[in-house]
Amino acid sequence: MKLSSRQILFFLAAVTPVGKLILMPPQLAAAARGDLLLPVLAQLPVQAALVFCVLLAARDGRTLHEMLARRIGAWGAAAVSAALALFLLYAAFVPLIEQKLLVQSIFYDTLPSYVVFAPFFVLSAYLCSRPTAGTGRLFDVLAPLSLFGMAGILLFSVGEADFGALLPVGAAGAGGFLQGARRACAWFYDAALLLPLLGRFDYKKGLAAKGAAAYLAGGAVLLAFLATFYGVFGDIAVIQVFAFAKMSHFFAGLTVLGRIDYLFIFSLAFVMIFYAAMPIQGAVQLAADCLPQSGKWLPALLSCAVNAAMLALLYAFNFYSDRIIDLFTGRLFFLIPAAGAASALLVLLLGRRRRES
């Protein structure tokens, strides 16, 4: 059973913005201060263009491995698929660190033991071993939860925000803009998440343009969140990690209504869990596609091995999370945009129109 085009649009419009709400806002505030919207405005059209390219390649109707094998042979396709799988695992590292820090800092009163975050990888291993049709049904659930959570937090926060803190535009200068754009690169790889789904959803006429528009619509929600975030916290925004869980605290109505904002916070946290698992799921799918005759057991074995390796790496660098984030947003910032752009353009060149409905 294939995914529907509706589910792809749900993912692009409602799920992708949520993956950028944990550490990216204070990173942008530290780099660009009140101009933190400008680096994201530069990233969004580029990523939307890459989404357009990947979805346009989906007209071919084949999986990524099948497209590669047709042009460069089975061994070449396996090598490229393996490289893309490694790229997705690399891109997954920052979201995993975010999830670990979120669990340890927000949902526990004291510092938990090392094994507290391990259940995430049990869930991830299960998701990675499931057919992609389940991913589509998951998007149907995550999209309304995301919209509910974002709408609630923005509704409770916007009245407490001083949007004058964003003025004057351009105060950070070109240096602040470039540094912000560099740091933001670690969170913009959404087009690459569509690569493992190629051949697993039916391309409808105009889906590429609709997908790009849906991604930009989600980006508009992200921009609204960032503007409200800086309006609420101002100069102390640079130290406000996990801001999505704090912004609504200042809403005066909570003294009467109680902490109903927890409904919105936990809705977004739930969506974030599955978004963080998506790169791992995609990497396992790309690897499994290289051995299509191996039966149903291969994805399960690959899933267990990959998730165990990611868990080991995460705890090997347990006390170096800040250094890892600095590395991904600093010296190695170019890897994710370069690999993401190259992979999207590759499938556009390899794909050819086979059928359209």
Question: Quick check: 195 pLDDT over 50?
Answer: yes
Task: Identify any residues that bridge with 315 across adjacent strands, giving them in sequence order.
Answer: none
355 pLDDT above the threshold of 50: no
Q: Which of 213, 250, 216 is nearest to 231 (CA)?
A: 250
Tokens of 125: 């291993």
Tell me, what's the pLDDT at 118?
Answer: 83
Weakest mean pLDDT among 33-47, 112-126, 216-230: 112-126
pLDDT at 293: 66
pLDDT tens digits for 103-148?
877 666 555 556 678 889 999 999 988 877 788 899 999 999 999 9
With a pLDDT cut of 70, the percent of the chain lying above it is 94
**Count of C-beta atoms within a 10 Å radius of residue 148:** 16
- 3-state SS class at 306: helix
pLDDT at position 23 is 94
Helix (H) / strand (E) containing 124: helix 118-129
What percent of the chain has pLDDT above 90? 64
pTM above threshold 0.85: yes
CA of residue 164 relative to chain centroid, distance: 29
**pLDDT at res. 196:** 93
The domains found in the chain, sorted by start residue, are: 5-350 (1.20.1740)
Predicted pLDDT at 146: 97
CB 32 within 8 A of CB 175: no
- pLDDT score recorded for residue 258: 81
User: How far is Cα 19 from Cα 326, in angstroms, rounded to an integer?
Assistant: 18
pLDDT digits (tens, 9 = 90+) for 322-333: 999 999 999 999
| Cβ neighbours of residue 73 closer than 8 Å, sequence gap 6 or more | none
Distances (CA, A) of 123 to 118, 119, 285, 286, 345: 9, 6, 16, 19, 32
